């Protein structure tokens, strides 16, 4: 390990703001929204105190924030923004343009429920709503992972084989506003790790005038989209390489997904973000009782590592996918990915889906126990009562 | 012209060559064609000002005719043309007639 790191007690927003201070982007357009507001609050104080060179642009909506991010990135700058929920929803149209223009913009997305009913608390409906926008999506269990993912984000997004925008997700309030102990990396080491940004075809290169965003009709549109698909195919390897370099330098190891006591697991839970912390505790308790329980926690959601996840789950007897978002009339979005990953292993585990935690509804250890108990039952009988059902909901 | 495959496209579809719209011929989009009647032209250059493309060819500050490779036949020039004593210097005629 190259460097000693400082142990601090901070909330998730402060951790991500600290990462952004260390990365020192050129431009940061934003329209602060709960629960991501803390990121911009901390960051603007860095600007006022001269700790970063960043130009913060406070705009009149999130649509404008993403538009300004696109303009600044196309001009040749390293750009970041932060948002949540309705804010991300209002950016949605522009998210496709950021990815179509291949601009490596970084978004800190503090996950929050979408209206209606109006709610400010954490769930993944915003993150899942940008699933098809062509952005790389990383999910983070706690403040440490959100910080580390943010430190790694530009290296992934700006890689010459990738050049795509990236969103780092963490759970609203549960992580963004809870204080945990974690480690910061020294400023110089972050600077060295992140490296200098080299823009491709920047508009501010005035000696080489150029046009971006030209109209493309049916004769070429599909070719452009095929290129975007190709860029996404390169992401897995880049994430693995950057994470390996990060582990070597800073000691914290990240994979495309986390396998927790998964090797010989027969009863497996799949879940994203903060719920994984609670589930790990309960997996430990069931292991002590002799149940072969395990957890798979995806980190890279777009592109989704289907082959690797399929291989990791194929020997389980039953898998319950827990979704903190619903695709009404369909399975939860994470469940759909796991089902796709397991399709080549049709003799593999029995699969079912639980929707939990919408609008910030707590997921308590006893709730996880209920899910594990049902998964044990499904493993025994091979039968699922309801392929998809809500938990922790009053009946 | 042979069309490029997806591996041959410039990064992000960026157009690196400035002013290359000149090589993209759009004249075939036309259904009506402007015809210049020189004896009615007072050289006011309204057609040149109003043309949304660059299809009015001006030389030495004089209207000399149309660039039919780029004129899309919108008819704005004919509409704006004041002509001479009520006789238009630009009239629109159906293509292929």
Angle, alpha carbons A58-A59-A64 (nearest 5°): 140
A395 occurs within a structural domain: no
- Mean pLDDT rounded to a whole number for chain B: 95
Residue A1 lies in a domain: no
Residues A383 and A366 in one domain: yes
Interchain pair B12, A201: CB under 8 A: yes
Return the domain boundaries, chain B: 37-97
Q: How far apart are CA A329 and CA A339, in angstroms?
A: 16
Tally of structural domains, chain A:
2
- In terms of domains, do A229 and A297 share one? no
The overall average pLDDT reported for chain A is 97
List the structure tokens of B7.
């591996």
Alpha-carbon A249 to chain mean position:
22
Partnered with residue A167 across adjacent β-strands are A107, A137
Same domain, A190 and A57: yes
Q: Name the residue in chain B with its Cα closest to that of A211.
A: B15
Same domain assignment for residues A245 and A278: no
The confidence score (pLDDT) of residue A186 equals 95
Q: Which domain holds residue A280?
A: 257-390
Rounded to an integer, the average pLDDT of A332-356 is 97
- Nearest-Cα residue of chain B relative to residue A200: B11
User: What is the rounded distance in angstroms from the CA atom of residue A91 to the CA atom of residue A105?
Assistant: 13
Residue of A203, A223, A229 to mutate when probing chain B, most B C-beta within 10 A: A223
Q: Which parts of chain A fold into alpha helices (H)?
A: 12-23, 37-48, 62-75, 85-100, 125-129, 143-157, 187-194, 221-233, 235-250, 275-288, 306-313, 333-342, 365-381
Q: Are residues A319 and A353 in the same domain?
A: yes
**Which tokens belong to B35?**
């015809």
ipTM: 0.88
**In chain A, positions 324-343, which contact chain B (CB-CB < 8 Å)?**
none
Q: Considering only CB atoms, which chain A residues are within 8 Å of B15?
A: 210-212, 214
Q: Which residue, of A249, A280, A302, is where some domain finishes?
A: A249
Q: Write out pLDDT tens, residues A127-169.
A: 999 999 999 999 999 999 999 999 999 999 999 999 999 999 9
Check which CATH number belongs to the domain holding A369 and give it: 3.40.50.920
Are A190 and A279 within one domain?
A: no
Question: What pLDDT, on the 0 to 100 scale, is given for residue B95?
Answer: 92
Domain B37-97 classification at class level: alpha beta
Instruction: Return the closest-CA partner of residue A356 out of A10, A122, A61, A177.
Output: A122
The answer to whether the CB atoms of A101 and B6 lie below 8 A apart is no
Domain boundary among A228, A249, A270: A249
The CATH number for A194's domain is: 3.40.50.970
- Measured between beta carbons, which residues in chain B are less than 8 angstroms from residue A227? 6-7, 9
Residues A181 and A36 in one domain: yes
pLDDT tens across A189-241, in order?
A: 999 999 999 999 999 999 999 999 999 999 999 999 999 999 999 999 999 99
pLDDT of residue B19: 84
Does residue A264 share a domain with residue A235?
no
Say whether both A210 and A265 belong to one domain. no
- Compute the distance between CA of residue A298 and CA of residue A305 in angstroms, rounded to an integer: 9
Query: How distant is the Cα of A130 from the closest Cα of chain B, in angstroms?
Result: 20
User: How much of chain A exceeds pLDDT 70, in percent?
Assistant: 99
What pLDDT sits at residue B77? 98
Q: Model confidence at B1, in pLDDT bands (50, 70, 90)?
A: confident
pLDDT tens for each residue of B34-90: 999 999 999 999 999 999 999 999 999 999 999 999 999 999 999 999 999 999 999
**Is a pLDDT exceeding 70 seen at residue A3?**
no
At A229-268, the pLDDT tens digits run 999 999 999 999 999 999 999 999 999 999 999 999 999 9
**B16 in contact with A, Cβ within 8 Å:** yes
Q: How confident is the model at residue A4 (pLDDT cuts 50, 70, 90)?
A: low
Out of A249, A279, A299, a domain closes at: A249
Q: Does residue A161 belong to the interface with chain B, where contact is any CB pair within 8 Å?
A: no
What percent of chain B is modeled with pLDDT above 70? Answer: 100
Residue B97 has pLDDT above 90, yes or no: no
A159 in a structural domain: yes
Residue A185 covered by a domain: yes
Per-residue model confidence (pLDDT) at position A2: 54
A214 and A303 together in one domain: no
């Amino acid at each position: 390990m190259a460097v000693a790191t400082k142990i601090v007690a901070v909330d998730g927003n402060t951790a991500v703001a600290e990462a952004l201070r260390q990365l020192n982007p050129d431009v940061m357009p934003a329209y602060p929204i709960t629960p991501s507001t803390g990121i911009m609050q901390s960051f603007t104080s860095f600007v006022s105190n001269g700790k970063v060179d960043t130009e913060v642009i406070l705009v009149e909506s999130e649509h404008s924030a993403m538009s300004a991010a696109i303009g600044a990135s196309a001009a040749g700058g390293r750009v970041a923004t932060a948002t949540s929920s309705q804010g991300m929803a209002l950016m949605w149209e522009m998210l496709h343009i950021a990815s179509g223009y291949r601009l490596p913009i970084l978004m800190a997305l503090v996950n929050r429920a979408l209206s209606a009913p109006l709610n400010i608390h954490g769930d993944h409906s915003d993150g899942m709503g940008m699933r098809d926008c062509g952005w790389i999506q990383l999910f983070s269990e706690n403040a440490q992972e959100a910080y580390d993912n943010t430190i790694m984000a530009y290296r992934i997004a700006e890689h010459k084989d990738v050049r795509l925008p990236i969103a780092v997700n963490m759970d609203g309030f549960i992580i963004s506003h809870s204080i945990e102990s974690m480690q910061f990396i020294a400023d110089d080491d972050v600077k060295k790790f992140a490296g200098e940004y080299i823009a491709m075809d920047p508009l501010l290169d005035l000696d080489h005038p150029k046009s971006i965003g030209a109209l493309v009709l049916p004769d070429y549109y599909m070719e452009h989209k095929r290129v975007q698909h190709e860029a996404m195919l390169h992401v897995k390897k880049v994430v693995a390489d950057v994470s390996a370099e990060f582990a070597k330098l800073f000691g914290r190891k990240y994979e495309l997904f986390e396998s927790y006591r998964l090797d010989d697991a027969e009863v497996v839970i799949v879940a994203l973000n903060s719920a994984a912390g609670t589930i790990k505790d309960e997996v430990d308790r069931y292991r002590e009782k002799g149940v072969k329980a395990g957890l798979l926690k995806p980190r890279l959601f777009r592109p989704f590592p289907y082959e690797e996840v399929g291989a990791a789950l194929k020997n389980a007897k039953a898998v319950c996918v827990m979704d903190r978002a619903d695709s009404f009339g369909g399975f939860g979005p994470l469940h759909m990915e796991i089902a796709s990953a397991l399709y080549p292993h049709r003799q593999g585990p029995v699969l079912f889906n639980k929707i939990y935690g919408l609008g910030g509804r707590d997921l308590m250890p006893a709730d996880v126990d209920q899910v594990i108990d049902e998964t044990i039952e499904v493993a025994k009988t091979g039968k699922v009562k309801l392929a998809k059902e809500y938990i922790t909901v009053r009946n | 012209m042979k069309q490029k495959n997806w591996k041959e496209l410039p990064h992000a579809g960026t157009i690196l060559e400035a002013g290359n719209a000149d090589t993209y011929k759009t004249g075939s989009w036309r259904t009506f064609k402007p015809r210049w009647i020189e004896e009615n032209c007072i050289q006011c250059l309204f057609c040149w000002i109003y043309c949304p493309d660059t299809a009015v060819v001006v030389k030495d500050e004089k209207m000399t005719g149309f660039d039919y490779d780029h004129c899309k036949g919108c008819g704005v020039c004919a509409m704006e043309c004041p002509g001479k004593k009520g006789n238009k210097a630009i009239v629109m005629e159906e293509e292929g007639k």
